[in-house]
Structure 1
Amino acid sequence: MTATLRARTAAALTDAGFAAGWRAVRMLPEPAARGAFDRAGRWAAGRQGTGVRQLRANYRVVTGGALSEPELADLTTRGLRSYARYWQEAFRLPTLSSERIVTDTDVVGLEYVQKVHNEGRGLVMTLPHSGNWDAAAVWFIDFLGGPFMTVAERLKPESLYRRFLEYRESLGMRVVPLTGGPRPSSEVLRDWLADGGSTCLLVDRNLGSGGVPVTFFGRAATMPGGAALLAAQTGAALIPTVCAFTERGWRLTFAPEVPVDGPGRLKDRVGTAMQDVADAFARTIVEQPEDWHMLGRIWSDVPPDPPAEERA
């Protein structure tokens, strides 16, 4: 079998696995699905894969190194259980009514987005990878009374990307590809915001080259500056937003609008704004760190923890 054929076969199996998972989980009673995914999260924590060990290292930074090794292990297990809950809900979300999601979402700082919405301005919501941002999307669409726009990274295979695209569009989002679209995603978003539209963008990890230097939990990191740039170019409000879980449902925490206008160079204003976003994220994430599902590397000087047997 050639390398190309092996890659295509693996991609097809990945897509088929997601499709089967979507069907199977939706057929399960909700308590059974929750229990199964919770066990999967515990199992993943015990496996100590690279992503799990990176999550552990990231949690050490978030908690300021104040946890003992057993406490850090417990937090990491809770983080994997929270991440498993996200996937369980992602598979089942289209079967849940929007009324239930809206009713079971607690909102902190609603006045910040309500003020901007009443003014008829666009909203640029910046989010970290925390809680369930798909459930938050359902709440946000209900609040807006219409769709918002977001950007999706192109997954491989293309059929898997299309599956996630259709899923998010079924929730009411407008999705543009990060790359490979008929127009650059930044142009599409700029036009949408200039017309008073709203967008939600995940910004706690910089996937491209460059990025804006920030201090995040006391360490140097980079975040994409596109959200702040879009707000500055269109007059939309830049609102940091953090999603988390509650026992009953979900919680959304909105921070006050981050200013992007005023004197000085645009580049400097964007950098200052993204630092404010990073600070807002940190203030909320630290309250319930297990809901921050960052299994990737954020800080260049924070690699994955070694396996447990090497830490002993």
Structure 2
Amino acid sequence: MARPDPTYLAYRAGSAVSRALPARAVPAAADVAGRVASRVLPSRRLIVERNLRRVHGDDLDGAALARAVDGTFSSYAHYWLESFRLPGSDPDLLDEKMTVVGLEHVQAGLDAGTGSILALPHLGAWEWAAFWLTEVKGMDVSVVVEPIEPPELADWFVGLREALGMEVITLGPHAGAACSKALKQNRVLALLCDRDLGGGGIPVDLLGEATTLPGGPATLALRTGAPLIPAIVTFDIDGGHLGQADPPLDTTRTGSLRQDVARVTQDLAHALERLIRRAPDQWHLLQPNWPSDHAALAAAGLAPPPEPSSPDT
């Protein structure tokens, strides 16, 4: 029998440790883990530095930039510790610590029978909102995740999300049809969309620099009539969570499908900018996302970070 993959074992161990921690110990544990990670992952640290400078400009430098980078890594560790602790959580306690602004935009899509698309950046703790929507609000939620290796780790992550009441759609050739089906079933569809995984996305300007974003969210909204709602879920200062759903983007058909997808995707890029600026220290995008990122890594003598071994990085 083949031995379990070390990455799989590491995530299982991390899950066990996080669930054993008292709730009051989670922030301190996340801070320690984040500081360690920020120092042993130089390629990812450089990417976080560049992302923070894109948000804050050249005024963020030196010690202030170093603190902000540490804060982002600690926030990312906090995200994982909390996610591992979610299965079996008390929905009443979850609701008590959850504040949501703009839920009416999500409900409007369900009332219209089109489903609703939540377009999210890799920011904060979106799984808490998905769990809250299913357990507290009784909404049906589908999420799209990227395929990962090894298979046992992929299966474990799927089980983790399904235990929280989500339908999991793995990104691949059949994902588009599965997403359309979810919307036809009047579900909430959550899409992380600030990174173009396939490399064949739509050219946009994001935070003042040219890159590409996936065209799937705009295409789905234009084809199905489901509202495309930019949203984030952040860690709040009181130990709770703040969910924010902005008004839907304008997906009125004005030209060819190609032209409309390009227009809506650029509008989505601007919406993501506004969301990211609300909590840039919680933006957990640790992979190169602009062409210039690859040049910066090469200039620093750093290899690009390996593709993520979890479905949310």
| TM-score of the pair, normalised by structure 1 | 0.89
Query: How many angstroms apart in 1 are the aligned matches of 2:194 and 2:242?
Result: 18
Q: Given the alignment, which residue of 248, 261, 270 partners 1:279?
A: 270
- 1:36-68 deviations in whole A, cap 9, x for unaligned? 222111222233521111111111111122213
Cα pair 2:71 2:281 within 8 Å, conserved: yes
3-state SS of 1:240 partner: strand
Helix, strand or coil at the partner of 2:291: coil
CA distance in 1, matches of 2:258, 2:33: 44
Cα deviation, 1:266-296, whole Å, max 9, x if unaligned, reads: 1111111111111111112112210101111
1:172-228, Cα deviation, whole Å (9 max, x unpaired): 00012213xxx7111111122123222101000001031011111111111101111
- Specify whether residues 144 and 261 from structure 1 end up closer, same or farther in structure 2 by C-alpha distance, changes over 3 A only: farther
- 1:143-158 to 2 correspondences below 5 Å: 145-158=138-151
Does residue 249 of the first structure (1) align with residue 229 of the second (2)? Answer: no
Does the 8 A contact of 1:34 with 1:88 survive in 2? no
Taking a change above 3 Å as real, the CA distance of residues 143 and 217 of structure 1, as seen in their structure-2 partners, is farther
**Structure 2: how far apart are the matches of 1:109 and 1:187?**
28
- Measure the CA separation in 1 of the matches of 2:75 and 2:16: 21
TM-score by length of 2: 0.88
- The reply to whether residue 36 of structure 1 matches residue 24 of structure 2 is no
Deviates more, 1:203-212 or 1:192-201: 192-201
- 1:33–1:88 contact (8 Å) kept in structure 2: yes
User: Contact (CA 8 Å) 1:242, 1:281: kept in 2 or not?
Assistant: no
SS at match of 1:94: coil
Q: Which whole-Å deviations, capped at 9, do the CAs of 1:98-156 have from their partners, x for residues lacking one?
A: 22222212222233223333333310111000001111111222465232112222211
Cα root mean square deviation, aligned: 2.1
Once the two structures are overlaid, the 10-residue window that deviates more, 225-234 or 46-55, is: 46-55
The answer as to 2:167 corresponding to 1:177 is no
Q: Does the 8 Å contact 1:240/1:281 carry over to 2? A: yes
Among candidates 165, 176, 183, match of residue 193 of structure 1: 183
Q: Is the 1:194–1:235 contact (alpha carbons within 8 Å) kept by the matching residues of 2?
A: no
Question: What SS is found at the alignment partner of 1:231?
Answer: helix
Tell me which residue corresponds to 2:14: 21
Q: How does 1:1-312 map to 2 (within 5 A)?
A: 12-47=5-40, 49-142=42-135, 145-179=138-172, 184-247=174-237, 248-302=239-293, 303-304=296-297, 306=300
Q: 1:291 to 1:147 in 2, by over 3 A?
A: same
Task: State the distance in 2 between where 1:94 and 1:292 align.
Answer: 24
Alignment length (residue pairs): 297
Secondary structure of the corresponding residue to residue 229 of structure 2: strand
Whole-angstrom distance in 1 between the partners of 2:232 and 2:142 = 18
Tell me the alpha carbon deviations over residues 7-55 of structure 1, each in whole angstroms, 9 at most, x when there is no partner: x76x612112212221222122122343222211122223352111111
In percent, how many aligned pairs have the same letter? Answer: 35
SS of the residue corresponding to residue 278 of structure 2 reads coil
Amino acid of the structure 2 residue aligned with 1:104: K
Q: What SS does the aligned partner of 1:79 have?
A: helix
Answer whether contact 1:138 1:172 (CA < 8 A) is retained. yes
User: SS at 2:143's partner residue?
Assistant: strand
**SS of residue matched to 1:301:** helix
Q: Determine helix, strand or coil for the equivalent of 2:253.
A: coil
Check conservation: 1:102, 1:138, Cα contact below 8 A. Answer: no
Mark the runs of 5 or more structure 1 residues left unpaired by the alignment.
308-312
Q: Is the 8 A contact 2:26 2:78 kept in 1?
A: no
Counterpart of 1:148, as a letter, is V
One-letter amino acid matched to 1:191 = K
Letter in 1 for 2:28: G
Counterpart amino acid of residue 234 in structure 1 = T
